[in-house]
Amino acid sequence: MQFKEALKRYLKGSGLGERLRHGDVHQAWSQALGVKNASRARSVAYRGGELIVEVESAAHKQELETFTADRYRRKANQFLGTDRIHRVTIKMKK
């Protein structure tokens, strides 16, 4: 197997390729939340305008879904200079 193929498989299997391809979206989300909150609500995937965010506590999940996720989404889009993030889905970390 060629190195290039092995690397492609690794990037796809690990999810790292997806994060690298949309690194600006993940960075904008982190900037919108700030250092303290970004460590508690980590963006893990971005597909078709949907940003998937993982949290460790049910309370934080509820807070984001009910009150703050849309505000952070708008702020992240401001950092991006475009409305690339249409929806934020909050999931519990596995």
Fold category of 22-92 in CATH: GMP Synthetase; Chain A, domain 3 (3.30.300)
**Inter-residue contact 72 to 33 (CB < 8 Å):** yes
For 43-77, what is each residue's pLDDT tens digit? 999 999 999 999 999 999 999 999 999 999 999 99
- pTM equals 0.77
Give Cα separations from 93 to 4, 16, 44, 52, 82 (angstroms).
31, 17, 10, 11, 28
Domain ranges for the chain, please list them: 22-92
Position 31 confidence tier, pLDDT thresholds 50, 70, 90: very high
Distance separating alpha carbons of residues 27 and 31, to the nearest angstrom: 6
Q: What is the DSSP letter of 67?
A: I
Q: What's the mean pLDDT when you consider all of the chain? A: 85
Give the gyration radius of the chain's Cα atoms: 14
pLDDT higher than threshold 70 for residue 12: no
In terms of pLDDT, which residue wins out, 45 or 21? 45
pLDDT higher than threshold 60 for residue 16: no
